[in-house]
Amino acid sequence: MPEISVRGLEIPESPIRKLAPLAVAAKGRGIKVYHLNIGQPDLPTPQVGLDALKNINRTVLEYSPSQGYQSYREKLISYYKKYNIDVKADDIIVTAGGSEAVFFALMACLNPGDEIIIPEPGYANYKAFALLAGATIRTITTTIEEGFALPKVEKFEELINEHTKGILICNPNNPTGYLYSRSEMEQIRDLVKKYDLYLFSDEVYREYIYTDAPYTSACHLEGIENNVVLIDSVSKRYSECGVRIGALITKNEELRATVLKFCQARLSPPLLGQIVAEASLDAPEAYFRSVYDEYVERRKCLIDGLNSIPGVYSPMPMGAFYTVARLPVDDCEKFCRWCLNEFSYEGETVMMAPASGFYTTPGAGYNQVRIAYVLKKEDLERALTILRKALEEYPGRVDEK
Amino acid sequence: MPEISVRGLEIPESPIRKLAPLAVAAKGRGIKVYHLNIGQPDLPTPQVGLDALKNINRTVLEYSPSQGYQSYREKLISYYKKYNIDVKADDIIVTAGGSEAVFFALMACLNPGDEIIIPEPGYANYKAFALLAGATIRTITTTIEEGFALPKVEKFEELINEHTKGILICNPNNPTGYLYSRSEMEQIRDLVKKYDLYLFSDEVYREYIYTDAPYTSACHLEGIENNVVLIDSVSKRYSECGVRIGALITKNEELRATVLKFCQARLSPPLLGQIVAEASLDAPEAYFRSVYDEYVERRKCLIDGLNSIPGVYSPMPMGAFYTVARLPVDDCEKFCRWCLNEFSYEGETVMMAPASGFYTTPGAGYNQVRIAYVLKKEDLERALTILRKALEEYPGRVDEK
């Protein structure tokens, strides 16, 4: 049997999805599983998006242009304008989810051996895509004790050397919910400018910011227009993760021409998803308000609930719909597996994502989990009760002294 | 401005799509363009597939499993059984088009520096994906004079060395329409077995075989079950290229586990496309018969028409819906550009794909084009008239002595 490639062996399993077979098995035993592991909102897709599907009158579901439909890219201009982001249709390349945008960005910008700085904990799949590009991740550690704030700019600068090619941030952050301040963003801008780096900025959660602090997009930063690559997706904005529509946006023409070649190789982004995404841009303000209000309530419910469980701590996330919480256990991966394999409370259990998969530093985050608050309040409350019971029963419980 | 990656600079533009901006410009000048460049059939998607879209009653368009829906994968079993291909649902991983299947296969199997043998002319995007994997393509040349038949097995063997990791074939072939005989397939099998290579077999055109010769799938070959990776797609089968649904199929468990990690990194294949593809499996026999009969007619119309133009030669393709034709010109890339930029006949012109992009050997195929017969007969006839006129007028005409 021929060998698997080295990258194939090294690419990590998704910490969000790798326990899925255990959840399937638990369900097979008749146990109800509350999914706190994955950012799959239960909130509805906008009706205008669903209606657009019903109204498709094509007889051929044909390829779309490699860079995405012109009509969709033009309509996105006014969406971004609302956030004070000034783009032209030509700046936008439509991708198969934000995932493909990250992947194309890293493949187009990074050579094997290049280094990219990514704060940790960070979205787990960045690691996978950096590995596919052959690049090395250098980590800026943020800590739960400091609410996952960015460390001082000097810490970044210590990591920069002749191999450093870019910085990747996620803002608001998945998994921590942290929102970068204007001043933090300007520090990053200064570094990017000084060392002529790429700044990859994943901003797919901009709709979900719960503080009064302003949202500073990488596209708001002056003087680094050709360095910035914005990663975007409609998945979370419209609760339509399944349509697989994202975008890579940059003012850098040479980079766009390169990315377009990758786009041509995979032919085109999903046609049906583009139709839904384009229609969803017409979702009424009331849709966003109700979704937003719902997340505000859920956030309070989850964070208050977590912090009321003995030994559990979660900072208050400022954005997105995740939190990273510390649990009083020996090892959260073991604990998460145990919850699915061995535990149930009144026929129910919880599935969470072990946070270690979001860290690059070995051993970091071993006693943390990422929890998504994408379930309705009653379910979150029930899940919190189950988590409390699980922590009481778990044989590997470790209380801090 | 930071630099583009080397792979980004090296990845070729798609020969099928790179002239698209010229076509857009021609259309902007009011010229009608007949698209012979791209395998986008004008035939309808099965009604059952279109109906499934209208009947979607979900309120949330959510992620699907990373490997694709269980129900779809199970339903595929009987589809493959019709072709005497014996697979289980677990052997099938659903991908975003056949493109993603090729990409994941090469990334999972090939290390930088590994070599893969691909007959030329071959589907252009294989080159792009091999380059992304860092692998080197070694070419087996097939010629228009020999109807693009595979050369003797010794020719393959000459290329095999310690870096050789696999062979990639497309059967029936894009762009040549060639169908590998049972004996050719068995020769490949013997090589794969002898040197323990991967055999990547792209068989997305199996519905379109126009000779009495039997279709031999790589999955029919005995003794190399763990070496075979079948690449598939619903794009051409159901004229639904836009839904972006393909599959990677292998009995090799270790390889599947690796590919699943890539699948997790991109989260999931398109949800809506899977719904359409699953429903399309119920398309009635009459659908396939009428589509098949249509291609038989178009093939005859195109190939007879081409060979009646002075100086033009096309072999008779045995399958798929392309042919590679030789034109009496100095350089087909120049000629194709000229057709879009400078020529029109009664306000119309043709777009073709220069075949050089399907060859790896520099200079090869310079006087050949790939033509897809995916337009209706009247349009094909009209396109042939235009091509004849274009060849009469083209200043770079070169007639063989």
Separation between Cα atoms, residue A369 and residue A367, nearest integer Å: 7
pLDDT tens per residue across span B177-217: 999 999 999 999 999 999 999 999 999 999 999 998 899 99
| First-last CA distance in chain A | 52
**Between the ranges A3-12, A73-82, A173-182, B153-162, where is the mean pLDDT highest?**
A73-82
ipTM: 0.94
Collect all residues with Cβ–Cβ distance below 8 Å to B261 and sequence separation of at least 6.
A8, A11, A12, A13, A14, A128
pLDDT in tens, A18-58: 888 899 999 999 999 999 998 888 899 999 999 999 999 99
Q: Do B244 and A96 touch (CB under 8 A)?
A: yes
Burial code of B76-107, b = ≥16 C-beta within 10 A, e = fewer?
Answer: beeebeeeebebebebbbbbbbbbbbbbbbbb
Q: Which residue has the tokens 């836009």?
A: B242
- Distance between B395 CA and the closest CA of chain A, angstroms: 31
User: Which is it for the CA torsion A11, A12, A14, A20, positive or negative?
Assistant: positive
Q: pLDDT value at position B384?
A: 98
Q: Does residue A360 have a pLDDT over 70?
A: yes
Rounded to an integer, the average pLDDT of B294-314 is 97
Q: Give the model's pLDDT for residue A18.
A: 82
Cα–Cα distance for residue pair B263/B163, rounded to 1 Å: 27
pLDDT for residue B160 is more than 70:
yes
- Is the pLDDT assigned to residue B401 strictly greater than 70? no
- Spatial distance between the Cα atoms of B391 and B399, rounded to a whole number of angstroms: 11
Q: Which domains does chain A have, with CATH numbers?
A: 6-44+286-393 (3.90.1150.10), 47-280 (3.40.640.10)
- Percent of chain A whose pLDDT exceeds 90: 92
Residue B399 has pLDDT above 90, yes or no: no
Q: Is the peptide bond before B175 cis (omega within 30 degrees of 0)?
A: yes
If you compute the radius of gyration of chain A from its CA atoms, what whole number of angstroms results? 21
* Beta carbons of A12 and B45 less than 8 Å apart: no
pLDDT of residue B102: 98
Integer Cα distance of A12 and A127 in angstroms: 8
The arithmetic mean of pLDDT across residues A46-73, rounded, is 96
Q: Say yes or no for a CB contact (<8 Å) between B54 and A56.
A: yes
| Of the partner residues B4, B50, B265, the one whose CB lies closest to the CB of residue A109 | B4
Give B243-290 pLDDT, tens digit per residue: 999 999 999 999 999 999 999 999 999 999 999 999 999 999 999 999
Nearest CA-CA distance, residue B39 and chain A, Å: 9
Q: What is the pLDDT, as a whole number, of residue A150?
A: 85
Task: Report which of B186, B187, B220 is spatially closest to residue B203, judged by C-alpha positions.
Answer: B220
- Residue A166 in this model has a pLDDT that exceeds 70: yes
Q: B126 to chain A nearest CA, in Å? A: 8
Confidence (pLDDT) at A369: 97
pLDDT digits (tens, 9 = 90+) for B86-134: 999 999 999 999 999 999 999 999 999 999 999 999 998 999 999 999 9
Q: Which residues of A touch B252 (CB under 8 A)?
A: 1
Q: What is the pLDDT of residue A165?
A: 97
Residue B400 has pLDDT above 80, yes or no: no
Mean per-residue pLDDT over chain A, rounded = 95
Cβ <8 Å between B239 and A56: no
Give, to the nearest 10 degrees, the angle between helix A97-109 and helix A124-132.
40
- Asked whether residue A401 carries a pLDDT value surpassing 90, the answer given is no
Per-residue pLDDT, averaged over A174-199, amounts to 95
How close does chain B come to A209, measured CA to CA in Å?
22
d(CA A318, CA A322): 10
The answer to whether A5 contacts B111, with C-beta atoms less than 8 Å apart, is yes
* CA distances for B236 relative to B148, B166, B213, B325, angstroms: 22, 26, 21, 21
CB A326 within 8 A of CB A354: no
- In the block, tokens 């007889």 appear at A59
3-state class of A90 per DSSP?
Answer: helix
Task: Answer yes or no: do A268 and B241 touch at CB < 8 A.
Answer: yes
Give chain B's mean pLDDT.
Answer: 95
Q: How confident is the model at residue B53 (pLDDT cuts 50, 70, 90)?
A: very high
